[in-house]
A and B are shown apart, each in its own frame.
Chain A
Amino acid sequence: MAKKQRKKEEWENNMVETKSAADRIVDVIVYFCVALVAFCSVIPMWHVLMSSFSDGKSLLAHVGLVLWPVGGFTLDGYSLIFQNASIVGGYVNTIIYTVSFTVIGFLLAAVTGYALSRDTKLKKPVTMALMITMLFGGGMVPTYMVIRALGWVGTPWALVIPGCTNSMYCIMMMNAFNSIPKEMYEASHIDGAGHLSTLFEITLPQAMNMGSVIILNLVIGQWNSWLPASIYVPNKKALWPLQLVIRQITSENADFLNSSNPNYSRYLIQFAVIIAAIAPIIIAFPFFQDKMEKGVIQGGVKG
């Protein structure tokens, strides 16, 4: 493998030597376009980051992109978000929802995947039932009515249980369990382990390659989610996840720009809260980038 890689590199280096003029023009265009895409991908977040460090009053007067803190470096925006009860509450809610959503969803997918990978009479019908839900759904309102009947409207359950797993995750886990050698299951059985300990102590650790991809998708999905909350807890601000709080703050800020006596501190808050919401994902990103990429390549999972 390494040898092949080296050979390829060598060959690529040779190509650099024999570049024609047309090749050079192509090179310039390609490098420019790729750099442009990369630049456009990060510049809006850079703008927000630098705005969050700016001085509120100067920032308000500033027009155009903020590439460097305007009017001196301050952390006022960040100290303000800690004083804002709804932001702190939203942050705590998001953490609680994300943890419970991920734990419940992953356990459900793992248990189902294990059950589906065993030789049972339910394997075929349950797989079929899971496939059907990928094809057809009841839709927004009928689902709302079921959740209403369960008494979950206006409670965190409506945000944590529905959507915590899906057919794709279950089937991905089934494939992961299927790819573990059969001898593993037999040995565990001979040692007297029941299905539960075979699942959790012996095979699940080996299925964690796929498992961690699912966990990452669950975490990011729930961390960024806002729609279920807007349907199920629209009037209970104490239950709002961070994303709904952000939505309210940023849209209020649009109004505040129109008012005659603006409160400058409020202007910084919207940038600081966006950074606070996205920081955990960005900081963790280098650690999970490879895993997520592999997940996309293997299973066509959209992150």
Chain B
Amino acid sequence: MAKKNSYDLAASSRRSWKTELKRDWMVYLLFLPIILYEVILHYLPMFGIVMAFQDYNVTDGYFHSPWVGMKHFVDLFSGEDFLQAIRNTVVIGVLRATIGFVAPIIFALMLSLINSKKFKRTAQTMSYLPNFVAAVIVCSLFTQFLAKDGPLTLLLTRVFGAENQNWFANDKAPVFWIIYLLMGIWQGIGWGSIMYVAAISQVSGDLHEAAALDGATRMQRMFKITLPSILPMILMMFVINVGTALAAGYDNILLLYMPSTYNVADTVYTYTYRQAFGAGNSNYSLSAASGLFQSVVSTILLVGSNALSRKAAGSSLF
């Protein structure tokens, strides 16, 4: 297939634009919508980033707003808020890329130890549900459950003797991070395990059989056969996870945090949002600067992790 394609490409590249357009004008026309779409909605905003170096205001636009150089970046890094947001982003990102990453793998391994097909299938289907519940609903449920006298709060109070409180109003260091991590795990554990379950089912049954005949217990087989067989995939997924750790997964915080918990819950993403669209705020240039910082760092992470994946696992995203 690949060979055929490269041959085909050579065919079109040998012809001149004129013959190409004459021959296949319809296909070229089919490119038009996506080109317009990409240019307007993805490439124009990339040029719009210049506003991070201006004191942008809506009436003057890009062409007449005064240039201020690195002022907004200096502001960002000399204030406490942004540095705090970076710290929280790193903490939450690291938690999600480690513990949050391992949870679906453990779940998949456990599923592989279950013999009853019916039980396994039912449990899997049930575990998918949170993935399809809207973020607004998930956050409102967690807010209810962890409010003062909420069901989860009461459980924590009765079992662990924790104080009956609104956990989302707690601004002590690890509380919000742990809640947010657990919320992410709750949402993703079932759906995230699908790929691993599929990979585990590909592991040859003969290997297991041979090992079992040699007296290996199920746990031994899991650690010595199943886990090593899916390790390349785990590695690749981990690298992808690290690459996208900064880019996604922080929008739910917008539904959960409050001014009194900014010190632990504010992230670069929420900071960017708040500066531009928060109540009474329209620091567009500052927000653009913060957004640019995030874009650049996550691009570096993505490219870096992709290169690493190509080297270590032999496969890459692009």
Residues on A facing B (Cβ under 8 Å): 4, 7-8, 11-12, 15-16, 20, 22-23, 26-27, 30-31, 33-35, 37-42, 44-45, 47-48, 63-65, 108, 111-112, 114-115, 118-124, 126, 129-131, 133-148, 150, 161-162, 165, 170, 178-179, 182, 194-196, 199, 220, 223-227, 230-231, 234, 243-244, 246-247, 250-251, 254, 270, 274, 277-278, 281-282, 285, 289, 293, 296-297, 300, 302-303
Asked if B136 contacts A139 (CB within 8 A), the reply is no
**Given A30-B110, A115-B34, A146-B44, 10 extra CB contacts under 8 A:** A41-B128, A119-B8, A139-B288, A139-B295, A143-B48, A165-B34, A224-B134, A234-B277, A244-B136, A250-B140
Give Cα A162–Cα B190 distance, bound, in whole angstroms.
29
Contacting residues of chain B (247-292) with chain A, CB-CB under 8 angstroms: 251, 254-255, 272-273, 276-277, 284, 287-288, 291-292
Q: Is the interface of B mostly helix, strand, loop or mixed?
A: helix
What would be 27 A-B contacts, judged by CB atoms less than 8 Å apart? A23-B217, A41-B189, A44-B141, A45-B129, A64-B154, A112-B34, A119-B12, A120-B12, A120-B24, A121-B13, A129-B43, A136-B295, A138-B44, A138-B48, A141-B276, A146-B40, A146-B44, A146-B48, A150-B40, A220-B132, A224-B132, A226-B136, A243-B136, A246-B134, A250-B143, A297-B198, A300-B195
Asked if B132 contacts A281 (CB within 8 A), the reply is yes
Asked if A138 contacts B49 (CB within 8 A), the reply is yes
B283 to A, closest residue via Cβ? A141
Give Cα A63–Cα B191 distance, bound, in whole angstroms.
31
Give the Cβ gap from A128 to chain B, nearest Cβ, in Å: 11
Count the A-B residue pairs with Cβ separation under 8 angstroms: how many?
264
Asked if B24 contacts A118 (CB within 8 A), the reply is yes
Asked if A143 contacts B140 (CB within 8 A), the reply is no
Contacting residues of chain B (32-49) with chain A, CB-CB under 8 angstroms: 33-35, 37-38, 40-49
Contacts A41-B129, A139-B45, A230-B277: A278 and B137 contacting too (C-beta < 8 A)?
yes
In the complex, whether B151 has a CB less than 8 A from a CB of chain A is: yes
Which residues of chain B have C-beta atoms less than 8 A from A243's C-beta? Answer: 134-137
Contacting residues of chain B (102-139) with chain A, CB-CB under 8 angstroms: 107, 110-111, 113-115, 119-120, 122-123, 125-137
Which residues of chain A have C-beta atoms less than 8 A from B302's C-beta? Answer: 135
Contacts A33-B110, A120-B28, A195-B27: A65 and B151 contacting too (C-beta < 8 A)?
yes
Contacts A16-B115, A26-B219, A141-B291: A146 and B127 contacting too (C-beta < 8 A)?
no
Give the Cβ gap from A213 to chain B, nearest Cβ, in Å: 13
Which residues of chain A have C-beta atoms less than 8 A from B43's C-beta? Answer: 129, 133
Contact of B26 among A34, A162, A179, A196 (CB under 8 A): A196
Which residues of chain B have C-beta atoms less than 8 A from A115's C-beta? Answer: 27-28, 30-31, 34
Which residues of chain A have C-beta atoms less than 8 A from B209's C-beta? Answer: 11
In the complex, whether B186 has a CB less than 8 A from a CB of chain A is: yes
In the complex, whether B316 has a CB less than 8 A from a CB of chain A is: no
Give the Cβ gap from A221 to chain B, nearest Cβ, in Å: 10
Which residues of chain A have C-beta atoms less than 8 A from B141's C-beta? Answer: 44, 48, 274
Contact of B38 among A35, A65, A133, A195 (CB under 8 A): A133
Asked if B48 contacts A142 (CB within 8 A), the reply is yes
Give the Cβ gap from A226 to chain B, nearest Cβ, in Å: 5
